Structure 1
């Protein structure tokens, strides 16, 4: 960086580049070190530390009376934090909100906001405050030489650089902040769990994050909502210091209603209701009929959702709401803080615990040394007083007659300056005989304390034991049970537009020229409907409005159409080509409607086929998908539903009167393709698979050959049983020119 140049006129000059670079760097460091990031020692940002310290200086301890918040804010910005009063007050409010802080530091009286609207707190001239009992964890050792002090902004008084926290507040209350080029997002944790982890680290200095996770399974927010982040993700987060945590609301069932009893951290019940109501208004939540907020003082969170009927799948509905509303929220985790070396760093869990314990041990050592210094100073004074009592007459004589009694006392009895000063300041009533006994008693007590302090300071093991005892005692005093249970849950899935539709029964009817419509109900006779001139009924199928219809063209492609979008039966319907892009030169040959896991037998006149699932027929593209491969001159057969893979038999008949039957299990299950050979057709090229169906015990097969037909029971087909792909046996005379077959199920 270039030096500042002083011109002849005495004016300092510097290039704009150097000046702005220097100014921005200074600003960045200020924001990082003195505003946005917490210190690992006490877990507080400067403004929070100054608020807590100012309140303690005002005497606002947990046992004192409340004082106006404006008084506190005035002291903070006037003595320590020369910034806006509103920003200072907001920081103070946050420390008072039990739904924001796991262990609040400020005890507020008045309106301090609500979970629905944390910013709805009253002005500082109306609210009153004092410190909570937990704040003693940060303040109780402040005047005992435990921390360093620094001048305030105008140098008129001192303020603590950090507070001597007896517990790792940086993990207990967490914090969020945005600095320049970095941010911090530290979640809250349970006091007892963190204390146990600290004790384990004291006993096992080489413990790693993996061991500490036995004591700290995850964050613990000030809400009863569930943490659903997988255990592996939580472990990864604590190892790296970065990650995310996902929370989900808790609900119960009451008389058919869904009652939400706990919301994720910082989720607003009013906003959740607004999000659900918005979906209802847009008709995207037809399975919900009513919504209300029954929250009160006894039940801070009680949101009631009433399903439309008891047939609604509550788990599916809640999964949709978790995916689309604030009933499930994710929180970024970035364990970035200022370490004991004064530098910002993203730390793993073991680094945080280890560094904080180092800070705590140093604090305790300084506290003990401070007390030892005081004890030694007092013992020194007592030694001088005892000399005075043993030579009281001579001391009085010196004081009465000497011009400089202090120097004479020092010379005569070998006293120090402080001892001589203490003797001179003695009051006459302290010259009683009993005082000598009191001095000796105090000497004995202080000597014992001195020995104990020196032992502790001289032994690292004793020091750690003391720290451990104090952490245990504080955990018993301030600790509580975990509030946010960590559970394993399935990932939330938003319902699709089709899933959200009502499942009303309809009959889909298609004409020969490809016009489709959906008539209400399942008792519809498609042949009785009106058709355009030159058009007539082709096929119909029962369905529900939340299903899809599959159309197969003559080339073996499959197309999907949402049934809820089809026109009613009052008119002629609409061309199926309006919903799909039919392949050139092809036309629709048949229609299938079923459930995703239903299986169907697919076959072509070429004598090949396979089994496929209904969900494999569904296409997301208007251009459809290739399903059945076949020669161009061979037609496809309508898919036949497989009712029982173990019992169904394939019945295949050629136009030349050859019949073959074999178990349907002999055919492969495929998503698409040509399939395997069903029946071996002749070499002439004129023979085709004219009919194919499925039957089992109790069914009846009808074979049609022109005007003739023959009925055959399942037991009659024993003569035609064979391996898949064989030639099959000839049907009786008169049935050498088969036109079609039909199976009548015993269940029909």
Structure 2
């Protein structure tokens, strides 16, 4: 609501909400249009455009001498950009860094920062600068009527609204910016690829993004590191105008060591070294023995990572470093630009190049029209010169005798005001040069140029050909090969805790009450360890600290535990129930450890079993996974490791002294289940089971089998075992007298 109070002083009253809303909107539009987002025509933000224009006005072309950067910054902030000098200088520095800009616009002399620390540049009073050769691509046509001009901030000077870029610079150098409510992230590209795509679109206006991606393979950053984003994702990014690009450091192997020779865009080398060193200090890279920085003037980036031995998987090590350090980085892409309509929008690749071609066509048309106007004006003046030459005596007389010679010349020879003024401006010494042949020769040349300009302006095909030739000419002069190769790589994967753990021999011990611990080495006697009162030794398994441990409970469920994280055997361990969640009332009956490819024989005392891979027994779930299905009333037997080799055998012994031996190949390999019958035993006639299986093992054909009954031990050699060979599922044969109550069985290698 606006109220106007009449009186000597009129006061306009606005609500705070309306005032704040209008002020914020004005500020937002200023930030969007005049600070943060680039224009699609020249790809520059206002501060960058003003720096380049100010340098051209100072005569700092590529062929001139360097001047102090402070001189340029002073002109920029004093004439065109009334902001802080440090902000203007930083924008200037960015355009001079060949590791920040794909095609630098400023040629700097002195300390302009380094890829390791872009902010380490010297103060403006120390550095010197001039425009790079590539800047001519933006400025070359500036004085030819190609673009509009606007007053500077105080109205004393004019500055170009946009520079007449001869190539789509907005995609070549890229830019980043944060406005109000929107941002832009345009990656740099290769000049030749962009020009080829632009020419294709010029000749085929209906070309799709997929067509243009035949030429534009992807961004091209000013670094030799790899782009590993899949081709389909890059095309989708160019289609929607949004996406991301993933870069990965380039590396090679020299004398068994890893050498990193290129980092992702704007990644600090010292930061990467710190990240790797921190992991080494935290003992998260036990396979690395040394880290060196051998970067110098010849090798801008050269990091050497020395493995502990030649058995280290270098591919796996680099995959871990890619996943955990800045050796691999994602870059957001948001093609948000100010279009030729003056409005910001996120645009697809074909839209960006299409709009730029319209901008370029307008620029070329204005340049040709400007030149045509100058040619016509010169021809008009030459006509007047010719008249003056043919009537030189009369012209001289009029100038000498008439008080106002200009009207007299116009009246006498029918000249225009422009022609008469040109004749009067001639110096006496130039009269001798006004020879008829020279005038007519210049007229012929200009007339031919005029006809050519008019043909081009009147023909759409000729205009396209001219734009194409000029694009190709720029690509020929400033184009180069792609720097960032696009490759297909597997996704980086960090090492797990198990993989990072050292491979030390370990003996895992489980007590009767379910307390678990781990002792270093395989020469430990588990029965001699100290146990809690009322507790004692139950199971043990020998393995390595970097291999997981699997525990079976009395219901047939399997649980995984990290071996290296188990408590030391110097103490009494800790209860397993603190790490896993078994069913209520369940006890622990099996303990094993090994590699994923190892195989184990799982069986119940009811005489059923199968072979399982160790990988299939593992579970990340605290509640474990069901592996062995038990018949009613049956118990889990300690799983038996399956040795390597051919012609393996299974030996099963019952509590009543019956032994059966048959080929292991007769048992199926499964991930879970009840399994097949191993040895035949009669079913229970009452609540108490008369006969159960007390031991099952897998063995080689030349192994010795030891059976224990009370204090008696029976060793059965391969020849002795022939008596107990039979088909799977049979009753087996009785052991000798004294072994009718077998307690256990084991294999002696």
- Same fold, judged at TM 0.5 (above): yes
> Structure 1 residue 156: deviation in Å?
1.1
Per the alignment, residue 84 of structure 1 pairs with 84
Distance 1:605 1:569 in 2: 31
Per the alignment, residue 35 of structure 2 pairs with 35
Q: Which moved more, 1:614-623 or 1:333-342?
A: 614-623
> Structure 1 residue 85: deviation in Å?
1.4
Distance 1:531 1:428 in 2: 123
The yes-or-no answer on 1:692 pairing with 2:696 is yes
Per the alignment, residue 117 of structure 1 pairs with 117
Distance 1:423 1:363 in 2: 34
Distance 1:201 1:336 in 2: 21
Per the alignment, residue 223 of structure 1 pairs with 223
Q: Could you say what secondary structure the match of 1:720 adopts?
A: coil
Distance 1:730 1:251 in 2: 63
Per the alignment, residue 545 of structure 1 pairs with 545
Per the alignment, residue 451 of structure 1 pairs with 451
Distance 1:45 1:717, change over 3 A: farther
Alignment of 1:701-740 (within 5 A): 716=722, 720-721=726-727, 728-731=730-733, 739=742
Distance 1:576 1:433 in 2: 110
Distance 2:720 2:734 in 1: 16
* Residue deviations 1:339-373 (CA, integer Å, cap 9, x gap): 11111110111111111111111111111111111
Distance 1:525 1:434, change over 3 A: same
> Structure 1 residue 587: deviation in Å?
2.9
* Residue deviations 1:233-258 (CA, integer Å, cap 9, x gap): 11111111000111111122233332
* Residue deviations 1:86-124 (CA, integer Å, cap 9, x gap): 111111111111111111111112221112221122221
Per the alignment, residue 641 of structure 2 pairs with 641
Per the alignment, residue 108 of structure 1 pairs with 108
> Structure 1 residue 386: deviation in Å?
1.0
Q: Which moved more, 1:218-227 or 1:201-210?
A: 201-210
Q: Which moved more, 1:113-122 or 1:252-261?
A: 252-261
Q: Which moved more, 1:399-408 or 1:270-279?
A: 399-408
> Structure 1 residue 742: deviation in Å?
4.9
Structure 2 spans left out of the alignment, 5+ residues: none
Q: Which moved more, 1:626-635 or 1:225-234?
A: 626-635
Q: Could you say what secondary structure the match of 1:550 adopts?
A: strand
Per the alignment, residue 464 of structure 2 pairs with 464
The yes-or-no answer on 1:194 pairing with 2:194 is yes
Q: Which moved more, 1:566-575 or 1:330-339?
A: 566-575
Q: Could you say what secondary structure the match of 1:432 adopts?
A: helix
Per the alignment, residue 5 of structure 1 pairs with 4
> Structure 1 residue 698: deviation in Å?
4.7
Q: Could you say what secondary structure the match of 2:697 adopts?
A: strand
Q: Which moved more, 1:422-431 or 1:581-590?
A: 581-590
Tell me if the contact between 1:103 and 1:134 (Cα under 8 Å) persists in the aligned partners: yes
Q: Could you say what secondary structure the match of 2:96 adopts?
A: coil
Distance 1:102 1:717, change over 3 A: farther
Alignment of 1:202-217 (within 5 A): 202-217=202-217
Per the alignment, residue 155 of structure 2 pairs with 155
> Structure 1 residue 538: deviation in Å?
4.2
Distance 1:696 1:502, change over 3 A: closer
* Residue deviations 1:281-328 (CA, integer Å, cap 9, x gap): 222222223223221111111122222333332222221111111111
Tell me if the contact between 2:567 and 2:574 (Cα under 8 Å) persists in the aligned partners: yes
Q: Which moved more, 1:35-44 or 1:628-637?
A: 628-637
Number of residue pairs the alignment of both structures matches? 740
> Structure 1 residue 14: deviation in Å?
1.0
* Residue deviations 1:114-170 (CA, integer Å, cap 9, x gap): 122211222212221111111001001000000011111111111100000011110
Per the alignment, residue 165 of structure 2 pairs with 165
Distance 1:701 1:279 in 2: 49
Distance 1:77 1:612, change over 3 A: same
Distance 1:277 1:428, change over 3 A: same
Q: Could you say what secondary structure the match of 1:429 adopts?
A: helix
Q: Could you say what secondary structure the match of 2:506 adopts?
A: strand
Tell me if the contact between 2:651 and 2:659 (Cα under 8 Å) persists in the aligned partners: no
Distance 1:516 1:206 in 2: 71
Q: Which moved more, 1:466-475 or 1:649-658?
A: 649-658
The yes-or-no answer on 1:243 pairing with 2:243 is yes
Q: Which moved more, 1:658-667 or 1:377-386?
A: 658-667
Tell me if the contact between 1:608 and 1:674 (Cα under 8 Å) persists in the aligned partners: yes
Tell me if the contact between 2:210 and 2:235 (Cα under 8 Å) persists in the aligned partners: yes
Q: Could you say what secondary structure the match of 2:435 adopts?
A: helix
Distance 1:195 1:4 in 2: 58
Distance 2:534 2:344 in 1: 82
> Structure 1 residue 276: deviation in Å?
1.6
Per the alignment, residue 668 of structure 2 pairs with 667
> Structure 1 residue 334: deviation in Å?
0.2
Tell me if the contact between 1:668 and 1:676 (Cα under 8 Å) persists in the aligned partners: no
Q: Which moved more, 1:607-616 or 1:77-86?
A: 607-616
Distance 2:5 2:292 in 1: 73
Alignment of 1:652-663 (within 5 A): 652=652, 657=658, 659=660, 661=662
Q: What RMSD in Å do the two structures reach over aligned CA positions?
A: 2.9
Per the alignment, residue 302 of structure 2 pairs with 302
Tell me if the contact between 2:725 and 2:732 (Cα under 8 Å) persists in the aligned partners: no
* Residue deviations 1:672-699 (CA, integer Å, cap 9, x gap): 3434555565444545444433356555
Q: Which moved more, 1:582-591 or 1:83-92?
A: 582-591
Q: Could you say what secondary structure the match of 1:483 adopts?
A: coil
Alignment of 1:238-637 (within 5 A): 238-432=238-432, 435-512=435-512, 514=514, 516-526=516-526, 537-568=537-568, 576=576, 579-581=579-581, 583-631=583-631, 633-637=633-637
Distance 1:56 1:4 in 2: 51
Distance 2:375 2:310 in 1: 76
Distance 1:287 1:702 in 2: 42
Structure 1 spans left out of the alignment, 5+ residues: none
Tell me if the contact between 2:681 and 2:731 (Cα under 8 Å) persists in the aligned partners: no
Distance 1:110 1:253 in 2: 35
Tell me if the contact between 2:609 and 2:676 (Cα under 8 Å) persists in the aligned partners: yes
Tell me if the contact between 2:702 and 2:718 (Cα under 8 Å) persists in the aligned partners: no
* Residue deviations 1:449-493 (CA, integer Å, cap 9, x gap): 111111111111111111111111111111111111111111111
* Residue deviations 1:189-214 (CA, integer Å, cap 9, x gap): 11111111111112222111101111
Tell me if the contact between 2:592 and 2:639 (Cα under 8 Å) persists in the aligned partners: yes
Q: Could you say what secondary structure the match of 1:555 adopts?
A: coil
Q: Could you say what secondary structure the match of 2:543 adopts?
A: strand
Tell me if the contact between 2:505 and 2:521 (Cα under 8 Å) persists in the aligned partners: yes
> Structure 1 residue 534: deviation in Å?
6.8
Q: Could you say what secondary structure the match of 1:5 adopts?
A: strand
Distance 1:521 1:620 in 2: 27
Tell me if the contact between 1:658 and 1:728 (Cα under 8 Å) persists in the aligned partners: no
